[in-house]
Structures are given as structure tokens and as C-alpha cells.
């Protein structure tokens, strides 16, 4: 199985605080990996480093074998990585369709002059792009909200939209930051079902999750972080048996 994402010895220090300490793991093509750990374990920091929001103090990130550690996030997107954010992040004043169209940026040729003149070829291309965007909305079941303003939608729709936008980049690896957080039980199930079927078919997924139930149910593998260190990397089923994980979560109810 080819490794689409490799994280080698990632260390991140903020002043005197070590947020991540020599974290290393590999994600193979087609896997659905859950990144778990209590609050402050370093999950979002790791995501940010993989996505290129800021650089690690030490260590490397490889996408499809390429060392992308020094690349900015927009350059990294070209190597096939996409993400959602812990706080729902969209283009609030734009419609759902326009949000996804922004996501298609990587695949849209600039065509400045053609756009300036509004040629018919340009307009035809625009319509094709819109159809493509509609397809993505449809894959997530929110095509009815095509023209609705993103910022005015309920949380459930917004979260689905953020995934649609990320998918629009046609990523090899998709980082989902707590996709089910804040959702009611029904919406949460709907989201995770989509993640494990529709989305999974398109790309490799790494998700951050608090909820162990979700991880055990949907993920192939779980990587557990505790105070910035990786303490477990294996099937989610064996998590509860691992002593280190149990110690880390001692007193934390989520393990249930």
C-alpha cells in the first residue's frame, strides 16, 4: 500500500511549550485514520502543520513521497492536500455554489483576458464549472442550498458545505477537523456515513475526533496523541486494551 502522507519526527515548540514531540506516522492510500487525544494533545497543531498553516520546529511532512515541509499551504494544495477547520470556516457572504467554486480554484484556468471580454468559450467553461460544483453539493446531499448564502445556513448544512469545498480541490488526502462536532445525533451520523462512503471513495482521510465511539466505528486505524506524543498507532478496537491510552484517558469519560 502506497503511503500518501508521511509525518516524520514532527516537533513543534511554542516558546517554552512543546506542543508536539517527535510525532511519526504514515497514512496509506484509501485509509480512514482517526487522530485522537484529549484536549491540548496537539491534534489541531499537527493538522495545521500537515496542512501548511505553520512550519514545524523540526521534522518533515511528505505528500505522495514529496517533501512539502517548506511549502506554503496554497502550494501544498497542489500536492493534493485539503482540510476543514475546527471552527466552521466558509466564505460567509457567498452562496454555497460560489463557496464550492472557490474550492475548485486549483482546477480553474485563469483565463484573464477571456474573462475580461466574456467570450462564449469562457461562459461555456463557467457553466461546466458550475455543474461540477453542483455535483459536489449533490454528493453531500446539499444541492438544494446551492444559492443560499453560506453564512446564514444552519450548522449542519455549513459543516457539509465545508467538506464540499475541501473536496472540490480533488485531494489525495483530506484532513477533517472534528467533522461531527456540534452536530445533533442524526446529523452527526449522516456526516460520518458520508465520510465513510462517498468521501472515502474519493480520497484518503485523516480525521480528528474526540468521540471514541465514532473512531471505533468508522476508522481503520487510530493514532493517539497525548501531550504531543504519539502513544498508540493501530486498530481502534485494541485501543481500550492499551495501557498507555487508558492511563492517558484516566478520568476522561469519552473512552466509554
Partner 1 sequence: MSVKAAALAVLLVALVALPPLAEPYVLHVAIVVLINAVYAEALYVIMRMGYLSFGHAGYIALGAYTSALLATKLGVSPWLGILAGACVAAGFAWLLGLVTLKLRGIYFSLSVFAFAEVVNAVFRAVDAFGGPAGIANVPRPSIGGVQLNGHLGFYYVVLAAAVMSLLFLYRLAATRFGFTLLALRTHDTEALAESVGIASARHKTLAFVISCFFCGLMGAIHCHYLRFVSPFVFTFFFSTDLVIFNMVGGLGSFWGPLAGSVLLTALGEQLFAAGYYKSLVYALVLLVVILALPGGLIQLPRMREAWAARRLRLAKAPVTAVER
Q: Nearest distance from residue 158's CB to partner 1, in Å?
A: 12
Instruction: Identify residues 35-64 at the interface with partner 1 (CB under 8 A).
Output: 51-53
91 lies in the site for partner 1, by CB under 8 A = yes
* Binding piece for partner 1, criterion CB under 8 A, among 2-10, 101-109, 181-189, 200-208: 101-109
Instruction: Identify residues 147-186 at the interface with partner 1 (CB under 8 A).
Output: 165-166, 168-169
Of 5, 46, 101, 205, the residue at the interface with partner 1 (CB under 8 A) is 101
- For 20-80, the three-class secondary structure string (H helix, E strand, C coil) is EEEEEEEEECCCEEEEECCCCCCHHHHHHHHHCCCCCCEEEEEECCEECCCCCHHHHHHCC
Give the chain's count of helices (H) and strands (E).
10, 10
DSSP-derived secondary structure letter, 95: B
Hey, how many other C-beta atoms are within 10 angstroms of the C-beta on 251? 8
238 lies in the site for partner 1, by CB under 8 A = no
How far apart are the C-alpha atoms of 155 and 68, rounded to whole Å? 33
Closer residue to partner 1, CB minimum distance, 11 or 73: 73
Of 34, 37, 59, 103, the residue at the interface with partner 1 (CB under 8 A) is 103
93 lies in the site for partner 1, by CB under 8 A = yes
205 lies in the site for partner 1, by CB under 8 A = no
Q: Nearest distance from residue 171's CB to partner 1, in Å?
A: 10
Long-range pairs for 86-89: beta carbons < 8 A, 24 or more residues apart: 86/44, 86/177, 86/178, 86/181, 86/208, 88/155, 88/158, 88/159, 88/162, 89/162
Closer residue to partner 1, CB minimum distance, 77 or 205: 77
How far apart are the C-alpha atoms of 79 and 229, rounded to whole Å? 27
Interface positions with partner 1 (CB under 8 A): 51-53, 72-75, 77-78, 82-83, 85, 89-94, 98, 101-103, 105-106, 108, 110-112, 115-118, 165-166, 168-169
Amino acid at each position: 500500500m502506497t503511503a500518501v502522507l508521511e509525518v516524520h519526527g514532527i516537533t513543534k515548540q511554542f516558546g517554552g511549550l512543546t506542543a508536539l514531540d517527535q510525532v511519526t506516522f504514515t497514512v496509506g492510500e484509501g485509509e480512514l485514520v482517526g487522530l485522537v487525544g484529549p484536549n491540548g494533545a496537539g491534534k489541531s497543531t499537527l493538522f495545521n502543520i500537515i496542512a501548511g498553516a505553520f512550519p514545524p520546529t523540526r521534522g518533515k511532512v511528505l505528500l505522495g513521497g514529496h517533501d512539502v515541509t517548506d511549502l506554503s499551504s496554497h502550494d501544498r494544495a497542489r500536492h493534493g492536500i485539503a482540510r476543514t477547520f475546527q471552527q466552521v470556516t466558509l466564505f460567509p457572504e457567498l452562496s454555497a455554489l460560489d463557496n464550492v467554486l472557490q474550492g475548485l480554484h486549483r482546477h480553474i484556468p485563469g483565463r484573464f483576458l477571456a474573462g475580461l471580454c466574456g467570450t462564449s468559450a469562457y461562459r461555456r467553461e463557467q457553466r461546466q464549472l458550475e455543474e461540477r460544483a453542483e455535483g459536489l453539493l449533490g454528493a453531500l446531499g446539499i444541492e438544494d442550498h446551492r444559492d443560499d448564502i453560506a453564512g446564514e445556513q444552519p450548522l449542519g448544512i455549513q459543516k457539509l458545505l465545508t467538506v464540499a469545498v475541501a473536496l472540490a480541490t480533488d485531494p489525495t488526502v483530506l484532513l477533517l477537523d472534528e467533522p461531527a462536532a456540534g452536530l445533533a445525533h442524526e446529523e452527526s451520523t449522516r456526516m460520518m456515513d458520508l465520510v465513510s462512503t462517498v468521501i472515502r471513495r474519493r480520497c484518503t482521510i485523516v480525521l480528528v475526533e474526540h468521540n471514541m465511539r465514532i473512531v471505533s466505528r468508522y476508522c481503520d486505524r487510530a493514532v493517539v496523541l497525548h501531550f504531543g506524543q504519539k502513544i498508540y498507532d493501530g486498530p481502534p478496537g485494541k485501543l481500550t486494551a492499551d495501557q498507555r491510552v487508558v492511563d492517558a484517558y484516566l478520568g476522561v469519560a469519552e473512552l466509554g
